[in-house]
Structure 1
């Protein structure tokens, strides 16, 4: 199948975002309502929780809800508060060189993926990254020189909290350093287990283990795959080869350190690059972030697509995804 990746720029919420929402809402709604409306929090619960944990985002949330049509279900969905559960694969690591560099693979189903690189200037802060759920982010960078990325944490537990893409958006809207990002990640509730790696312009970095039932753990590891301190879901770990990928990345960083381009290229080959598209865990894209330069690059075997915060250009790329 052909997956169309689009790059869109809209400094303030407007017709481009409204158009995206109209396009994706049928699929969003099916997923959000898959367990019934009563399984999801009410609009007032959603808005109150954003006001409590992300007060800087409340006005933006209200604007986006109105832009999406103002319906109860759309507003509840956009809060990304206590959404249905979802799993992904993914690998990410920080290259240990002079220039800050975060590289990640996003492994997920092509049928449940927005494939939109979004550049925004909301609240006076320029942010670009891979969008999810209209305003959430799977990874991204801001104009303060902070980059973030997520992987699934390999635990079954589901609790009360936000979908992690909105948490990443919140971090990039409000934080400038890795230390600030870690503090924010440690206090905002996340509804499932995720590993969030942060890197700033000064080369400070951390990986934060988020869970719905335990306190967040801030670590100094430069690598994250699909488990946290230990494997807790053995079947998922075997299927995604999370331990093997982690060992491979740690080896590339320590035992056999690569130059920058060789390190990036390693993400485009096994064992990091996955072709398990039929099982919903194929590598949909590789992203390389250079936060000091405000640069982002999307990569696939044989193709590179660069972006900058200062000179972001809209466009599209057709990427062939295997059906099997």
Structure 2
């Protein structure tokens, strides 16, 4: 059983601090799992943020203070050169005339914040699914820009940031798809990810981020777990990335189906993954509507509707079909 929470806190404060206290041990143990010598120093983290995402530095400082002001907490929250992590995920732009981004988040149910966070950090309202309480795996800002990520299916690791902080940065500083493209080309990412961005005018892109080659910006409306081609064959077979991509592309070539029908396809195989015991079952489906500033979070048999104009702090407990969750 995993309990998802929706939380509204405009400025970083006691709610955020309480959550960090709750997750502190899990976060810091994960961050140091390869040894402290393998993680960048505080000075290196600060320098990287100042170089690539300077607008976030005051926010990072405030969050670090709320987390206790310690060296490890600040280094963790910088998201600079974190340990490796993999996920599955599928995402697509609805082919109809309204802007709609739908995604499945496929990951280990024991390693998710399970938190939909609404904030007004740096003066811009953002709703998104939290990662590490600073980053986001998907989200939307009040200007109608929505973004989500999938793993890019490559083993290369380099010097850069964890992609959830890059998504946060996009939503905090960008109002257009063109601005988002510039950020995604400029900020280094430590692993390969596919990032899809859409705005209220239905302009969209998918960027293929990688640590060892330049970011490629495309007009792809679908992203699963490879980039231009499959480069990690065993991972591709395990996650059925090609099959999921083909399925979504086929749906996009049909006559546009109603939004709700398109969204519901993500709650069924092959898009909905049952591989919870292997760490990439579908933990939730998210449907972002940039024009109305609303998001729907769905699970089989359950859903949330949240928006900038009507956001409620609430919880929902989701049972996934695996004995692995018995201790969560």
Q: How does 1:5-16 map to 2 (within 5 A)?
A: 5-16=4-15
Aligned ranges for residues 142-161 of structure 1 at < 5 Å?
A: 142-161=141-160
TM-superposed deviation, 1:311: 1.8
Tell me what 2:172 maps to.
173
Q: Secondary structure at the match of 2:25?
A: helix
Match of 1:221 in 2: 220
Asked if residue 233 in structure 1 is aligned to residue 238 in structure 2, the reply is no
Q: Which residue of structure 2 lines up, in the alignment, with residue 49 of structure 1?
A: 48
Q: Deviations over 1:8-65 (max 9, x none)?
A: 1110000011011111110111110001111000001001110110011110011111
Q: Is the 8 A contact 1:144 1:176 kept in 2?
A: yes
TM-score, reference length from structure 2:
0.97
Instruction: Tell me the equivalent position of 2:290.
Output: 291
Calculate the aligned-residue CA RMSD, in Å: 0.7
Q: Hey, what does 1:71 align to over in structure 2?
A: 70
The residue aligned with 1:140 is 139
1:256 Cα shift?
5.2
**Structure 2: distance between partners of 1:292 and 1:199:** 10
Q: TM-score, normalised by structure 1?
A: 0.99
CA displacement at 1:304 relative to structure 2: 1.5
Q: In 1, are the aligned partners of 2:159 and 2:188 still within 8 Å (CA)?
A: yes
CA deviations over 1:139-172 (Å, ceiling 9, x no partner): 0000000000000000000000000000000000
Match for residue 103 of structure 2?
Answer: 104
Are 2:86 and 1:87 aligned?
A: yes
Is the partner of 1:206 in helix, strand or coil? strand
| DSSP-derived class of the 1:58 partner | helix
Aligned length: 323
Partner of 2:37: 38
Once the two structures are superposed, what CA deviation does each residue of 1:46-91 show, in whole Å capped at 9, x if it has no partner? Answer: 0111011001111001111111001111100000000000000000
* CA apart distance, 1:255: 3.3
CA distance in 1, matches of 2:65, 2:43: 15
Structure 1 segment 178-217 matched on structure 2, within 5 A: 178-217=177-216
Q: Do the aligned partners of 2:135 and 2:164 also contact (CA within 8 Å) in 1?
A: yes
Q: Secondary structure at the match of 2:282?
A: strand
Contiguous gaps of at least 5 residues in structure 2? 324-328
Kindly provide the CA deviation profile for residues 265-316 of structure 1, in whole angstroms up to 9, marking residues without a partner as x.
0000000001110000100000000011100110011211100012211100
8 A Cα contact 1:251 1:257, kept in partner: no
- Asked if structure 2 preserves the Cα contact closer than 8 Å seen for 1:117 and 1:129, the reply is yes
> What SS does structure 2 have at the residue aligned with 1:237?
helix
Moved more, 198-207 or 247-256: 247-256
Give unmatched runs, 5+ long, in structure 1.
none
Q: Is the 8 A contact 1:278 1:323 kept in 2?
A: yes
CA drift of 1:258 comes to 2.0
Contact 2:96–2:256 under 8 Å retained in 1 = no
Distance 1:310 1:39 in 2: 44
Query: Any idea what SS the aligned residue of 2:190 has?
Result: coil
Contact kept in structure 1, 2:96 and 2:257, CA below 8 Å: no
Q: Determine the C-alpha separation between the residues in 2 that align with 1:187 and 1:127.
A: 22
Q: How far apart are the structure 2 equivalents of 1:322 and 1:164?
A: 29
How far 1:257 sits from its partner (Å)? 3.5
1:277 equivalent in structure 2: 276
